[in-house]
């Protein structure tokens, strides 16, 4: 029997009128039944969030009280990390040791935003009128539509929910229809933490009935989206209906620049982690390797050996180092692009197919392509899979030109022992995140976001809380003198 999950609207768990089966990527079989939110469900959720936004049960809380609720939620996430991790692994195919580690760290994000709840400050303005005082108040912006993809969904929800709730907003959280189980279960922790009904609503569903209705709803004041550029364009068009403030965290084709002065063993470990962790299904995956000619042969030999030694298996097994892709559709997309890349002149060094004995799930081998130029399809296309495209450079200027030759600009990595070069490249690279001699480091304290088609706005860090507020200007006349008659000329 399939496990059944419920949506969460206005403090009530519901089965929903329409349901769909969720597929386990490890074996290609249905394992759970999910509610597909209707347009009416979405409307009810947004209206519940709007009522809660105005209700003294939430609006009347002090900032410190909101922070305490977030602290409680953080503790519950930490306590239930193993349970949430098992659900995410079953529904998305991410290996269990990665989901456990990541979800355990998600609690730190809620703790961070809990601490910021009572640090949101206004300002007293030194106006040029002697009989006036003017100051700014920061107030919550309203109902937030938070939309996250299936990968790293608890983390990507935390960087939206955390600052939104700290600021005093209410939220309708839409989980991806591809693997929503952990977020639907997370709703039970929200309920247990004691947030008033309607403050957080969690649902999932498909485009027109769910996503379009949510992002165009007249009561939605802010949209926070993580996903692909094409869906983002639909959201921007939808937001013309409500003029909601919108932030977009989109895809990437992140370059990793390796110079010939590096420790090859150390760098190869970082590159493998950057592209093959999570089966390459990460927006910051280091999918373009730019390597200086003098170290290319040694580095590629090391990377090929490491890629071929990766243990591919059941994602629920703690010994597994790489699991399946999340969907059959994604694997088919990767297969087509890799084939087109080889036809265009790329050399397949390793991988490029389904692992032996893994035909039932959506597995794909760690793949390395040596590419003759930057126009090869695997170099220009975000694959969202375990495919590394390698280009060669001779000079620092050439490396920068190759790195910046992309419509994306989310992240970049630089590996060199030359500290001056590292500083130069942090300025030259067109990316929202630049890692030097490391990769994929994250912290709630540090904002992230991209350039170009990698998105608009930033998530994480102290200032992200302010993105969920708007300012109100207040003028107070301090003089006791009567206000002069405006029609008497002096």
In a domain, 479, yes or no: no
- DSSP-derived 3-state class of residue 488: coil
Range(s) of the domain holding residue 414: 255-436
Q: Which two tokens stand for residue 373?
A: 């130029």
- Active centre residues (catalytic): 249
Model pLDDT for residues 184-195, shown as the tens digit of each residue: 999 999 999 999
Same domain membership, residue 120 and residue 140: yes
Residue 396 has pLDDT above 70, yes or no: yes
Q: What are the CB-based long-range contacts (under 8 Å, 24+) for 64-69?
A: 64/117, 64/118, 66/117, 66/165, 66/166, 66/168, 67/114, 67/115, 67/116, 67/117, 67/118, 67/166, 68/114, 69/114, 69/165, 69/193, 69/194, 69/195
Q: What confidence tier does 488 reach under pLDDT thresholds 50, 70, 90? A: confident
The reply to whether 303 and 230 lie within a common domain is no
pLDDT band at 490 (very low <50, low <70, confident <90, very high): low
> Does 97 score more than 80 pLDDT?
yes
Longest Cα separation, the chain: 93
490 within a domain of the structure (yes/no):
no
DSSP secondary structure letters along 205-254: --IIIIIIHHHH-TTEEEEEEES-HHHHHHHHHHTTTTT-EEEEE-----
Separation in Å, CA 409 to CA 22, 40, 97, 448 = 33, 38, 29, 11
Tokens 């706005």 -> residue: 457
Give the position of tokens 């932030």: 247
**Do 85 and 217 reside in the same domain of the chain?**
yes
φ, ψ of residue 249 in degrees (nearest 5)? -115, 110
Give me the chain's average pLDDT, please.
96
Structural domains of the chain, count: 2
Same domain, 58 and 207: yes
Does residue 414 fall inside a structural domain? yes
Residue pair 280/383 in contact (Cβ under 8 Å)? The answer is: yes
Q: What is the pLDDT of residues 314-340, one digit of tens each?
A: 999 999 999 999 999 999 999 999 999
Task: Write the CA distances from 461 to 158, 159, 228, 287, 474, integer angstroms.
Answer: 12, 9, 23, 26, 28
Q: Are residues 337 and 221 in the same domain?
A: no
Q: What is the 3-state secondary structure (H, E, C) of 162-197?
A: HHHHHHCCEEEEEECCCCCHHHHHHHHHHHHHCCCC
pLDDT category at 220 given cuts 50, 70, 90 is: very high
Domain match, 233 and 299 both: no
Residues 211 and 122 in one domain: yes
Residues 273 and 229 reside in one and the same domain:
no
The tens digit of pLDDT for each residue in 348-394 reads: 999 999 999 898 899 999 999 999 999 999 999 999 999 999 999 99
Quote the pTM value. Answer: 0.95
pLDDT tens across 277-313, in order?
999 999 999 999 999 999 999 999 999 999 999 999 9
- Please state, as a whole number, how many other Cβ atoms lie within 10 Å of the Cβ of residue 353: 12
| % of the chain surpassing 90 pLDDT | 96
462 and 413 belong to one structural domain: no
CATH of the domain at 173: 3.40.605.10
pLDDT higher than threshold 90 for residue 52? yes
Both tokens of 24, joined, read 């386990």
Residue 236 sits in the same domain as residue 306: no
CATH of the domain at 331: 3.40.309.10
| pLDDT for the residue 207 | 85
């Amino acid at each position: 029997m399939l496990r059944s999950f419920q949506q969460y609207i206005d403090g009530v768990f519901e089965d929903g009128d329409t349901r769909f089966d969720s597929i386990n990527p490890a074996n290609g079989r249905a394992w759970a039944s999910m509610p597909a939110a209707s347009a009416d469900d979405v409307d009810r959720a947004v209206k519940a969030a709007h009522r809660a936004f105005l209700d003294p049960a939430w609006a009347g809380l002090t900032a410190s009280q909101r922070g305490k609720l977030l602290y409680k939620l953080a503790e519950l996430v930490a306590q239930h990390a193993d349970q949430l991790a098992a659900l995410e692994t079953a529904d998305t195919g991410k290996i269990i040791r990665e989901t456990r580690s990541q979800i355990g760290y998600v609690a730190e994000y809620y703790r961070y935003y809990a601490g910021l709840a009572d640090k949101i400050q206004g300002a007293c303005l030194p106006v040029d009128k002697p009989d006036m005082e003017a100051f700014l108040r920061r107030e919550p912006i309203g109902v937030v539509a938070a939309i996250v993809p299936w990968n790293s969904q608890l983390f990507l929800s935390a960087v939206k929910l955390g600052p939104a709730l700290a600021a005093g907003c209410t939220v309708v959280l839409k989980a991806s229809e591809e693997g929503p189980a952990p977020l639907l279960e997370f709703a039970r922790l929200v309920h247990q933490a004691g947030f008033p009904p309607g403050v957080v609503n969690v649902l999932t569903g498909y485009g027109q009935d769910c996503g379009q209705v949510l992002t165009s709803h007249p009561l939605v004041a802010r949209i926070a989206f993580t996903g692909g550029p094409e869906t983002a364009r639909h959201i921007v068009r939808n937001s013309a209906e409500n003029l909601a403030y919108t932030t977009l965290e989109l895809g990437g084709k992140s370059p990793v620049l390796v110079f010939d002065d590096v420790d090859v063993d150390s760098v190869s470990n970082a590159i493998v982690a950057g592209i093959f962790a999570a089966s390459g299904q990460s927006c910051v995956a280091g999918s373009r390797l730019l390597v200086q000619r003098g170290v290319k042969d040694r580095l590629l030999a090391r990377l090929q050996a490491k890629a071929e030694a990766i243990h591919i298996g059941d994602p629920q097994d703690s010994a597994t180092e790489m699991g399946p892709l999340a969907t059959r559709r994604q694997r088919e997309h990767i297969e087509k692009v890799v084939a087109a890349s080889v036809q265009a002149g790329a050399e397949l060094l390793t991988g490029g197919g389904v692992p032996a004995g893994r035909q039932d799930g959506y597995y794909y081998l760690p793949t390395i392509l040596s590419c003759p130029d930057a126009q090869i399809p695997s170099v220009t296309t975000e694959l969202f899979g375990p495919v590394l495209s390698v280009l060669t450079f001779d000079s620092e200027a050439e490396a920068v030109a190759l790195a910046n030759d992309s419509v994306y600009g989310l992240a970049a990595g630089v590996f060199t022992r030359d500290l001056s070069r590292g500083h130069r490249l942090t300025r030259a690279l067109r990316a929202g995140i630049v890692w030097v001699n490391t990769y994929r480091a994250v912290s709630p304290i540090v904002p992230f976001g991209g350039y170009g088609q990698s998105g608009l706005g930033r998530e994480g860090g102290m200032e992200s809380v302010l993105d969920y507020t708007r300012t109100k200007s207040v003028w107070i006349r301090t003089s006791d003198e009567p206000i002069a008659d405006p029609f008497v000329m002096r």
